[in-house]
Amino acid sequence: MSTVRSTCPYCGVGCGVLLAPGDSGRLTVTGDPDHPANTGRLCSKGSALADTLGTEGRLLAPRVDGHETGWDSALDLVAARFAETVATHGPDSVAFYASGQMLTEDYYVANKLMKGFLGTANIDTNSRLCMASTVAGHRRAFGTDTVPGTYEDLDAADLVVLVGSNLAWCHPILHQRVLAAKAARGTKVVVVDPRRTATCDGADLHLQLAIGSDVALFNGLLAAIYEGGAVDKAFVANVDGFDDTLTAARCARLDPTGLDRDLVDRFYRIWIGTERVVTVFSQGVNQSGSGTDKVNAILNCHIATGRIGRAGMGPFSVTGQPNAMGGREVGGLANMLACHLEIENPAHRAAVADFWNAPRLATTPGLKAVEMFRAVAEGRIKALWIMHTNPAATLPEADAVRDAIAACDFTVVSDITAATDTARLADVLLPAAAWAEKDGTVTNSDRTISRQRAALQPPGQARPDWWHVTEVARRMGYGRSFDFAGPAEIFREHAALSGIAGGFGRDFDISGLADLSDGDYERLAPTRWPVARRRGGRFFADGQSFHPGGRIRMVPVHWRAPEAKHGPRFPFRLNTGRVRDHWHTMTRTGRSARLSAHLAEPFVEIHPEDAKELGVAADTLVELTTPTGRAILRATITDAVQQGTLFAPMHWTGETAPSGRVDALVAGVTDPVSGQPESKASVCAARPFAA
Ligand code: SF4
């Protein structure tokens, strides 16, 4: 086997990797020097990818009710139960829960089956937990979910502001890129985060604001931009909403941030005085009951100064997962159609229905992730298909979600292992091809489409996800519309549909790739969209948006406190997040001894004063309780967290002490616009654990 070029399956940086046979017969994985995202570098997780391969623990054959069976009987059963459920209870009685781990081609056929052929928009994704607030914020400002930034902007910026982002651990290669710019050209780095994280080590300034107060900080920045005479009047002349947004910002108070006024003024002076500024934001912004407002508060500052769409400047959302962006592009969220077309728009729906020759296109948005599993709990969803994600451990109120899945009439799980919290609950388990065994594309945070390529044969009867979906579609009578020979054919259809979206003036247009031959697809080099026949280049520098009339919109936003309120019973606010060397619920990274060595156990960070008051000693067990769940974690006593707050990572899912299941603690509060859960501000009680 010769060296295969592929893409790392973890975070949204989307680093290129080279897969080559090693001496011992196992693959070696190194960074691809020719990939623009990483130019050969890999972080700890990427460097350990080879440790995570192999067939140990893999699901090797379909299972029905725990018994191995053949593909035909499993697929016949899935098709029959979904068809029967739709016929008896209507299209909205079925649902599909997808994942940012899926490849674009897999996502495309799943979305097509649900929205076009089963007639329901009940397809949502774990990306709802990741960046739905960014999607909503982009759509309010630009009319489409368009990421203005590129990685080159980080190289060219004089100031990088990292908001709610532990970039050093969660997007390490981008962080290295920022530090390289700092070393080469003196780029200033400001971190805005309630926690002191590893990212603060390389920063010039850390604003340790109160949890959930970002809107107040950025409203204050907008007011300071105006008062400092830094508004770009020519740019703003073509923007809607400036006056109302400024009025809201000037009324805003800084108190909710809890920050020292001098520190804030210093930040404002640096931001206003630096034209080339990139504001990077991530889960600390998105995972919030006011996440969409936080996103727009940041966008407003860039729009008011015209610092958008030009080299070295702009707001820039970095996504958590390898293909969160690809999922957005195919319309894999319950409130979107395909190719950034709108489900509420009759002309868009008609065009997609015509293109797909779809018998019953969904006409209204479907249930978003948290709502979807509530509908499962209430018995409104009676047949559920979950692909490559573990909602029984990772959705808010995870214990209730686990119980809902267990009680669902019919649950199908496609995954590479039967050992996840969710797979254990499935009626039907479908064995999936893993990373390095499957082919397709992913889109990273800066809109670059890259190929994932197979270097290994899937073990046993494992098959790629697109095959699972198309085989079920074929058995439901939709074979002609799902008669794909492989991912290249699916990609061509997706690209051709994007040309129709481009015809409606939408941003996502890769119609220039619709005629790729199989060989062209196989050789496809990393390509940033748009790749349109009609227009290309950077977005928004010309002040043009995708709203009707083409004007960008500023959106007035007001600070709101996190919805869950403190009280004597639950006096702490719990922040959740990731660690450096693990990924999601550790299905893969848990197989690597060197990755597990970094932080071996689930833990909770507690401020020293709180620990003293609670009587908690370092490294002892602490019991956390919230209105929705309980977890036992090892105490890490540190002033990296503020007094009255706790931080716990979300990767561990075990039931015995120390037990992770941190998302069982998280309340199912969601942002009213995006539906994204507030994963960083649940109220919580803590006490020493007595076994
Ligand atoms: Fe993989 Fe992200 Fe690390 Fe790159 S930065 S190697 S994409 S985990």
CA 16 to ligand 1 centroid distance, Å: 9
CA 578 to ligand 1 centroid distance, Å: 14
Q: How confident is the model at residue 652 (pLDDT cuts 50, 70, 90)?
A: confident
Work out which ligand 1 atom sits closest to the CA atom of 42: 6
d(CA 691, CA 684): 20
Q: What is the DSSP string of 22-66?
A: -TTSSEEEEE-TT-TTTTT---HHHHTGGGG-SSTTB--S-EETT
Q: How confident is the model at residue 520 (pLDDT cuts 50, 70, 90)?
A: very high
d(CA 316, CA 358): 36
Parse the chain into domains and list their residue ranges.
Answer: 4-52, 63-128+322-435+459-480, 132-318, 572-688
Q: What is the DSSP string of 615-655?
A: TPPTTSEEEEEETTEEEEEEEEE-TTSPTTEEEEES----S
Mean pLDDT score of the chain: 95
d(CA 663, CA 661): 5
Mean pLDDT confidence for 646-652 = 92
Assess whether the C-beta atom of 14 lies below 6 angstroms from ligand 1. yes
pLDDT tens digits for range 321-368 = 889 888 999 999 999 999 999 999 999 999 999 999 999 999 999 999
- Which backbone phi and psi does 477 adopt, to 5 degrees? 95, 15
Buried b (16+ CB within 10 A) or exposed e, 443-452: bbbbbbbbbb
Do the domains 63-128+322-435+459-480 and 572-688 sit in the same CATH topology, yes or no?
no
Both tokens assigned to 159: 């100031």
Both tokens assigned to 321: 């997962």
Work out which ligand 1 atom sits closest to the CA atom of 38: 4
Ligand 1 pocket mutation pick from 19, 43, 51 by most atoms within 8 angstroms of CB? 43
d(CA 230, CA 228): 5
Assess whether the C-beta atom of 45 lies below 6 angstroms from ligand 1. yes
CATH class as words, domain 4-52: alpha beta
Question: What would the CATH number be for the domain defined by 63-128+322-435+459-480?
Answer: 3.40.50.740
d(CA 144, CA 135): 8
- Give 500's contacts (C-beta < 8 A, 6+ positions apart): 339, 341, 351, 352, 355
Q: How confident is the model at residue 653 (pLDDT cuts 50, 70, 90)?
A: confident
pLDDT tens digits for range 265-309 = 999 999 999 999 999 999 999 999 999 999 999 999 999 999 999
Buried b (16+ CB within 10 A) or exposed e, 561-598: ebbbeeeeebebbbbbbbbbbbbbbbbbbbbbeebbee
In terms of C-beta distances under 8 Å and separation of at least 24 residues, what long-range contacts does 565-571 make, across chains too? 565/683, 566/683, 567/683, 569/685, 570/625, 570/626, 570/627, 570/683, 570/684, 570/685, 571/644, 571/683, 571/685
CA 539 to ligand 1 centroid distance, Å: 26
- 572-688: CATH topology is Barwin-like endoglucanases (2.40.40)
CA 211 to ligand 1 centroid distance, Å: 27
Q: What is the pTM of this model?
A: 0.96
Q: How confident is the model at residue 566 (pLDDT cuts 50, 70, 90)?
A: confident
- Work out the angle between the directed axes of helices 398-407 and 369-377 (0-180°, nearest 10): 50
pLDDT tens digits for range 436-489 = 999 999 999 999 999 999 999 999 999 999 999 999 999 999 999 999 999 999
CA 542 to ligand 1 centroid distance, Å: 33
Q: How confident is the model at residue 597 (pLDDT cuts 50, 70, 90)?
A: confident
Assess whether the C-beta atom of 16 lies below 6 angstroms from ligand 1. no
Ligand 1 pocket mutation pick from 7, 41, 45 by most atoms within 8 angstroms of CB? 45
Strand ranges of the sheet holding 94-98, from the earlier edge strand across to the other edge: 67-68, 63-64, 428-431, 410-415, 383-387, 94-98, 123-125
In 3D, which of 290, 368, 371 has the Cα closest to residue 332? 368
Coil vs helix vs strand at 171: coil
Architecture of domain 132-318: 3-Layer(aba) Sandwich (3.40)
